[in-house]
A and B are shown apart, each in its own frame.
Chain A
Amino acid sequence: MKWISPLLTRQKAFRTSLILAGISIACFLLPVNTKTYISGKLIVAYAPFYGISNKIDDVFEVYEINRGLHATITRQMLALTTLREQERENKRLRELLGFKETVEYDLIPAEIVALDPKRRQNAVIAEIGHDAQVSADLPVVNVDGLVGKTTSVLGDLVTVELLTSPNCRAAARDANTRVLGIVRWTGGRTLLLDNVSISDTVAVGDTVITSGLGGVFPEGLLIGTIATVSVGASPFFRSITLRPFVAFGALEELIVLKGSGG
């Protein structure tokens, strides 16, 4: 008992220690619900600092994302340089062969402000800049691929008919096999690649792009990948469904393609 003697000379401190130890044991023996309630009250002390901590984490996260984006931009710049070089070469070769010159497009950003109240799923209303001078029947894309086309313009607002509208069709081709068809929507989440003969070769997983033959959409815009291939109602044509690249239910920013010649 000799070792405990310093405690006995400090009766007040010893009493405090016993009381606090008793309270701690009582806390530990409380029912879980009560403990959770008390913890909830105590943890409030940390709340403002966790807020700061989360903000700091966000800053670090944004920094990492920024670094990743810088790397991506650098890669894209290199790819762009190569593509520009190839574009110049392509132009020279087309001139040599006497091909018709392809149209270049201005990219006009548009932000979706509303769904078209009359057609809901099939059209959206987007806001464009004041001096954009957009007209009807211009192709509209986003970062994923073809979205649809403009149908009417009123001031800064433009109505975009989506590819998931029964009235919107796009001349398309299989990017691998170059087989031509027409993409349209018949309901559901997939699109239909129509008018593909039974003798044409297409495979599941192939990418489908616009062919540029319809007059509205330029060549090479991404539409989707082939999900299923089967024999259609007509024995002469295939029934091909596409999984679109664009998430039509989660559209945000759009880009209207306007021929640079107006």
Chain B
Amino acid sequence: MMARNILFFILLLFCVVIYQALLADIVSIGLARPDIILVFLVWLTLTRDLTWGVAFGFAAGLLEDSHNPQLLGLGALLNVLSALAVFLVSHRVRTDSLVIRIAMVIGVVVLHDMIYSLVAFSFDIHLDIMILFNTIIPSALYTSLIAAGVMYLSQRRLTLRFES
């Protein structure tokens, strides 16, 4: 079971690497770029366990940060905090609703990217507001579409498994 979990974890990281290296630029629409790390993070935290979400967020965050050595660790930290936030919120709302899950993805993407760009641009509020409207909100909406697909398929798979 442990080996299977590790294999699944590596497979997810592998998907993230492939996505960032090969697909991210292709699927981007203007400045909107879906953040599949956060989709997987929310999905893992809600369907598996907090440890999964945190570990995945940390590993994927570090990999993502390697593109910007100056901010190494920031993405990982924000992913870990995002997983914690999702975990805490999931105990106060009904997470079996797809709409709630998608709303959580949007919230996580907006907060994560806002804090990231605040730190990255030395707390330049004007620039950050501009990025919020031009990049972060469109990316969050785009990410929510991907999340809807992932979570719908995941739910459907669980239902089919239960029925069989």
In the complex with contacts A12-B51, A30-B72, A39-B72, A56-B80 CB distance below 8 A: no
B54, closest chain A residue (CB): A17
B76 A27 Cβ-Cβ under 8 A:
yes
A35 B21 Cβ-Cβ under 8 A:
no
B22 A52 Cβ-Cβ under 8 A:
yes
Interface residues of B in 70-98 (CB under 8 A from A): 70-74, 76-77, 80-81, 83-84, 87-88, 91-92
Tell whether A177 is near chain B: CB-to-CB under 8 Å. no
Number of interface residues of B (CB under 8 A): 35
In the complex with contacts A16-B51, A24-B61, A49-B18, A7-B84 CB distance below 8 A: yes
A35 B17 Cβ-Cβ under 8 A:
no
A43 B66 Cβ-Cβ under 8 A:
yes
Interface residues of A in 38-63 (CB under 8 A from B): 38-40, 42-43, 45-46, 49-50, 52-53, 56
B80 A21 Cβ-Cβ under 8 A:
yes
A26 B22 Cβ-Cβ under 8 A:
no
Tell whether A6 is near chain B: CB-to-CB under 8 Å. yes
Number of interface residues of A (CB under 8 A): 35
User: How far is the CB of B68 from the nearest CB of chain A, in Å?
Assistant: 8
Give the distance in Å from the alpha carbon of A4 to the alpha carbon of B91 in the complex.
Answer: 10
A13 B77 Cβ-Cβ under 8 A:
no
B66, closest chain A residue (CB): A42
Tell whether B67 is near chain A: CB-to-CB under 8 Å. yes
In the complex with contacts A13-B50, A21-B77, A30-B72, A49-B66 CB distance below 8 A: no
Residue in contact with B17 in the complex, picked from A16, A17, A32, A45, CB distance below 8 Å = A45
Give the secondary structure class of A's interface.
helix
Tell whether B49 is near chain A: CB-to-CB under 8 Å. yes
A20 B58 Cβ-Cβ under 8 A:
yes
Give the distance in Å from the alpha carbon of A53 to the alpha carbon of B19 in the complex.
Answer: 11
Residue in contact with A42 in the complex, picked from B21, B54, B63, B70, CB distance below 8 Å = B63
Give the secondary structure class of B's interface.
helix
A5, closest chain B residue (CB): B91
Tell whether A120 is near chain B: CB-to-CB under 8 Å. no
A24 B77 Cβ-Cβ under 8 A:
yes
B88 A6 Cβ-Cβ under 8 A:
yes
In the complex with contacts A13-B49, A27-B76, A39-B65, A6-B17 CB distance below 8 A: no
Give the distance in Å from the alpha carbon of A227 to the alpha carbon of B83 in the complex.
Answer: 69
In the complex with contacts A3-B88, A7-B84, A46-B17, A35-B61 CB distance below 8 A: no
B66 A17 Cβ-Cβ under 8 A:
no
B73 A25 Cβ-Cβ under 8 A:
yes
Give the distance in Å from the alpha carbon of A6 to the alpha carbon of B89 in the complex.
Answer: 10
User: How far is the CB of A97 from the nearest CB of chain B, in Å?
Assistant: 64
Tell whether B30 is near chain A: CB-to-CB under 8 Å. no
- Residues on B lying within 8 angstroms of A by beta carbon are 17-18, 20-22, 25, 49-51, 54-55, 58, 61-63, 65-74, 76-77, 80-81, 83-84, 87-88, 91-92
What 10 pairs across the A-B complex have the smallest Cβ distances? A27-B73, A49-B21, A28-B73, A24-B77, A42-B66, A39-B69, A13-B50, A24-B76, A35-B72, A39-B66
Please, could you name 9 A-B residue pairs with CB atoms under 8 Å apart, sorted by A? Answer: A13-B49, A17-B51, A24-B61, A27-B72, A35-B72, A40-B66, A46-B17, A46-B20, A53-B21
